[in-house]
């Protein structure tokens, strides 16, 4: 299966200017279309769609306009079960093996049915040995008399013994007990033989023929399913709490945004962490570990409230916007750098940029450590600040919904009339999300022209986001055209930054096509 084909499957009727309004239903549409196309299909035959030229054109368009564009679907448990069963059936039919054996093999070969079939034709034995259902060494001949079971030391009658393909016979009671203990510990696909140094895996039918308790059988099958999804390179569970949805996509390289249809959580398909473009997977892991280690100090150092730089009154931030206006003296200032908001100007927004102290004495180790901490705190504070802003804007979004409802009920226009407000808040969330994740990226960047360019673009994005946030919070009293204009500018800044800095290390479908 190859990504080129998948990229061309999807139709893209959107252009960048109305991207915001389209975003809500993007994932729905995707999965609706893909449901039709993938689940009723044996999973291999997509060329038909690839040959449609007009689709190709649109696919290219979409990947150009949205650097984060990524084809995926959200599937329900039943749909995934169906998908897995199709692979199992395909394999068991074409190789004439039991479905339960097919499962073990697929699990071992990461669900690449075609690879198994090819290899099986070349050397069936090797496939079975690799899947650990057959031992490499010659099978022990079942002796006609068994003195006792090596595990429990009991002497049950001959017919109450069984063994896997390795020929290590144990009594059925011991097998049952072994499986029970393993299942209770959450093991399913990888339950092995009880003999010393024997790594043979017990296939499903063998396990189920020994386990009789219904709740245990159910548990086993649940674990099997989880294990299958985890071992499948195209599938990933949504990490949301109690969320049942499963993502399906075709590549695991770079920061790949997938949005859950159920809980709306943004996840990176490649690594399973919260989505993190433009930062790549290894970098965000480093950053998050670092934050977990150091954040106590950082929290301690960065206070939750700040004093107004003009009248010194203590201010608690209750909205997402960093353009602050002091309630007491009406002074406009920036929450991040505490400078006068006016001095930020529109041309060059400086406060996202970290300025290294030029007078730093390079010989003093202590000063260097302090400078390193200062640098980290600079980025961490901004990262944290935007995370907090995101939370606060989440509340704005919730109250906006009820405000719109009130307006509609009061007869002040319809939902459609107020849709732009909703869209602007959603867009703001997306922009700020990306902005938050630019800080770990910048932290690990080497100094140089590329970093300068990045910080310039980051500053531009930040300025536009704060403008947008300011306008969204006062949206009902400001001009609609003005707001929509601001939305467009902010989104363009975001995509420009991502286009220039979001890197996928392998040649994926999008780059090879474009």
Residues near another protein (CB under 8 A): 150-154, 168, 170, 174, 177-178, 180-182, 192-198
> Which two tokens mark 284?
């965000």
Q: Minimum distance between the CB of residue 220 and another protein, rounded to whole angstroms?
A: 15
Shortest distance in whole angstroms from residue 126 CB to another protein:
24
Transcribe 452-471 into DSSP letters. HHHHHHHHHHHHHHHHHHHH
Residues 6 or more apart whose CB falls under 8 angstroms from that of 466 comprise: 321, 322, 323, 334
- Whole-number Cα distances in Å, 108 to 72, 130, 230, 233: 24, 7, 12, 12
Closest separation between CB of residue 59 and another protein, Å? 46
**Helical H runs in 123-266?**
124-130, 172-184, 204-210, 214-231
- Cβ distance to another protein smaller for residue 12 or 168: 168
In the complex, minimum distance from the CB of residue 196 to another protein, in angstroms, rounded to a whole number: 5
- Which residue lies nearer to another protein by CB, 26 or 231? 231
Tokens of 382: 């901004």
Supply the minimum distance, in Å, between the C-beta of residue 198 and another protein: 7
* Widest pairwise Cα distance in the chain: 97
Which of 197, 189, 188, 209 has its CA nearest to residue 168? 197
Our CB check for another protein shows the closer of 154 and 368 to be 154
| Residue recorded with tokens 């679907």 | 73
Q: Which is nearer to another protein, 73 or 182 (CB)?
A: 182
Burial of 314 (0-12, 13-18, 19+ CB in 10 A): exposed
CA proximity to 279, closest of 507, 502, 510, 505? 502
CB-based contacts of 17, cutoff 8 Å, min separation 6: 488
Name the DSSP class of 37: I
Minimum CB–partner distance for residue 217 and another protein (Å): 18
Measuring CA to CA, which residue among 510, 513, 514 is closest to residue 254?
A: 510
- Which residues neighbour 193 within 8 Å (Cβ) at sequence distance 6 or greater? 164, 166, 168, 199, 200, 201, 202
The helix/strand/coil state of 268 is strand
Catalytic residue among 166, 171, 321, 431: 321
Q: Which is nearer to another protein, 171 or 315 (CB)?
A: 171
The SS3 call for residue 334 is: strand
Shortest Å distance, C-beta 40 to another protein: 41
Residue 214 phi/psi, 5-degree rounding, is -60, -40
Output the smallest distance, CB 152 to another protein, in A.
5
Residue 212 or 361 with smaller CB distance to another protein = 212
Return the H-helix or E-strand segment holding 267: strand 266-268
Tell me whether residue 152 or residue 453 sits nearer to another protein (CB atom): 152
Residue 3 token pair: 């990504």
DSSP 325-352: E-TTT--EEETTT--BHHHH-SS---TT
> Cα–Cα distance between 26 and 430 in angstroms, integer?
14
> In the annotation, is 152 catalytic?
no
Both tokens of 173, joined, read: 């009671």
**CB closer to another protein, 191 vs 427:** 191
Catalytically active residues, by annotation: 321
């Amino acid at each position: 299966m190859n990504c080129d084909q998948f990229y061309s499957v999807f139709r893209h009727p959107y252009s960048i200017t109305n991207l915001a309004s389209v975003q809500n239903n993007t994932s729905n549409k995707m999965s609706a279309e893909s449901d039709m196309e993938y689940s009723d299909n044996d999973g291999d035959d997509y060329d038909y769609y690839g040959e449609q030229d007009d689709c190709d054109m649109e696919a290219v368009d979409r990947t150009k306009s949205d650097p984060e564009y990524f084809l995926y679907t959200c599937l329900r448990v039943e749909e995934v079960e169906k998908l897995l069963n199709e692979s199992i059936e395909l394999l068991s039919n074409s190789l004439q093996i039991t479905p339960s054996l097919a499962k073990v093999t697929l699990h071992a070969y990461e669900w690449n049915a075609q690879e198994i079939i090819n290899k099986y034709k070349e050397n069936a034995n090797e496939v079975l040995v690799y899947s650990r259902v057959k031992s490499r060494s010659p099978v022990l001949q079942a002796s006609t008399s068994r003195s006792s079971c090596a595990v429990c030391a009991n002497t049950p009658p001959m017919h109450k013994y069984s063994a896997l393909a390795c020929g290590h016979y144990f009594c059925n009671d011991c097998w049952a007990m072994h499986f029970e203990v393993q299942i209770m510990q959450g093991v399913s696909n990888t339950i092995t033989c009880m003999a010393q140094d024997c790594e043979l895996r017990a296939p499903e039918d063998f396990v189920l023929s020994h386990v009789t308790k219904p709740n245990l059988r159910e548990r086993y099958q649940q674990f099997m399913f989880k294990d299958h999804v985890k071992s499948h390179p195209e599938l990933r569970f949504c990490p949301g709490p109690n969320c049942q949805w499963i993502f399906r996509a075709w590549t695991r390289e770079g920061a790949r945004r997938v949005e859950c249809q159920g809980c709306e959580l943004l996840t990176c398909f490649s690594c399973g962490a919260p989505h993190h473009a433009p930062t790549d997977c290894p970098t965000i892991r480093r950053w998050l570990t670092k934050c977990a280690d150091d954040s106590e100090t950082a929290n301690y150092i960065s206070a939750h409230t700040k004093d107004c730089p003009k009248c010194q009154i203590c201010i608690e931030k209750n909205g997402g916007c960093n353009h602050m206006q002091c309630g007491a003296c009406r002074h406009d200032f920036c929450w991040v750098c505490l400078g006068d908001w006016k001095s930020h100007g529109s041309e060059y927004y400086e406060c996202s940029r970290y300025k290294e102290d030029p007078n730093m004495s390079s010989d003093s180790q202590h000063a260097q450590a302090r400078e390193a901490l200062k640098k980290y705190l600079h980025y961490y504070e901004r990262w944290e600040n935007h995370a907090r802003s995101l939370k606060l804007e989440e509340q704005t979004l919730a109250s906006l919904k009820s405000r719109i409802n009130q307006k509609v009920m009061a007869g002040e226009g319809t939902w459609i009339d107020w849709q732009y407000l909703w869209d602007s808040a959603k867009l703001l969330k997306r922009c700020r999300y990306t902005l938050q994740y630019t800080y770990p990226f910048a932290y690990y960047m080497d100094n140089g022209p590329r970093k300068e360019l990045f910080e310039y673009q980051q500053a531009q994005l930040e300025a536009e986001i704060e403008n947008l946030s300011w306008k969204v919070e006062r949206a009902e009293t400001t001009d609609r055209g003005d707001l929509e204009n601001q939305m467009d500018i902010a989104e363009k800044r975001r995509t420009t930054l991502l286009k220039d800095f979001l890197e996928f290390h392998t040649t994926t479908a999008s780059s090879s096509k474009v």
